[in-house]
């Protein structure tokens, strides 16, 4: 008689088998821990046939990401791709035109949506590259507010005054002087003491 197969320690999808669970009838059941931390008990045959690959969180993620076509997140994904790949798009010269690419993983919209939802995406946030010369990758991207993104822009003006360096938007918030006024004085070539005059 063949020796029963021990699944302990084996990985099936997101599930790691911890130990055999009490049987119900003749079918062997296994206690598993999902990558998300939840524990479940399932049949060994379901694991081996890949019928069970998670505690249910995988299907929940698929349900969330499926049908994203009409959402703001889909627009973020599409815009990210086109500005890196379509020379006819505005600002292509600042992205694809200087070698910025979208990583292979994110060419699959579902993988991008999954990363976005697991890393703090909310409507109204914008994707930002930490290294402005780096590609769009999970390691080099984060979600920021429009103000934060504006402050991180490569062409954003930075001014130093009293030993502090900030963007015009940040200085406007700090000093209470309208940004348009600060920029007008800067463009006119005024010295810092006049740019920041109340």
| 107-160 residue pLDDT tens | 888 889 889 988 888 888 899 988 877 899 999 999 988 877 766 654 567 788
| 22-56 residue pLDDT tens | 887 788 999 999 888 889 999 988 888 877 888 87
Least confident interval from 3-7, 153-157, 164-168: 153-157
State residue 166's pLDDT score.
82
pLDDT, the chain, mean: 83
Contact 130, 142 (CB under 8 A): yes
Question: Residue 99, by phi and psi: left (phi above 0), alpha (psi -120 to 50) or beta?
Answer: left
Domain residue extents for the chain: 11-55, 62-145, 158-195
Residue 105 has pLDDT above 60, yes or no: yes
Dist. CA 94–CA 133, nearest whole Å:
10
State residue 154's pLDDT score.
45
Contacts 24+ apart (CB under 8 A), 58-66: 58/13, 58/14, 61/114, 61/117, 62/110, 64/113, 64/117, 65/109, 65/110, 65/113, 65/114, 65/117, 66/110
């Amino acid at each position: 008689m063949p020796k029963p197969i021990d699944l302990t320690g084996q990985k099936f999808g997101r599930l790691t088998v911890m130990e055999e669970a009490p049987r119900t009838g003749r079918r062997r059941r296994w206690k598993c821990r999902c990558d998300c931390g939840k524990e479940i008990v399932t049949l060994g045959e379901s694991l081996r046939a890949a019928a069970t690959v998670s505690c249910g969180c995988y299907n929940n993620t698929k349900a969330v990401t499926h049908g994203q076509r009409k959402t703001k997140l889909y627009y973020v994904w599409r815009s990210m791709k086109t500005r890196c790949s379509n020379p006819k798009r505005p600002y292509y010269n600042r992205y694809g035109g200087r070698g910025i690419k979208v990583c292979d993983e994110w060419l699959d919209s579902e993988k991008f949506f999954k990363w976005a939802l697991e890393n703090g995406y909310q409507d109204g946030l914008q994707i930002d590259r930490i290294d402005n010369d780096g590609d769009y990758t999970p390691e080099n991207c984060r979600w920021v507010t429009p103000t934060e993104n504006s402050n991180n822009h490569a062409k954003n003006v930075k001014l130093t005054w009293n030993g502090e360096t900030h963007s015009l938007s940040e200085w406007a918030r700090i000093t209470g002087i309208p940004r348009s006024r600060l920029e007008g004085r800067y463009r006119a070539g005024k010295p810092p003491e006049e740019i920041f005059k109340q």
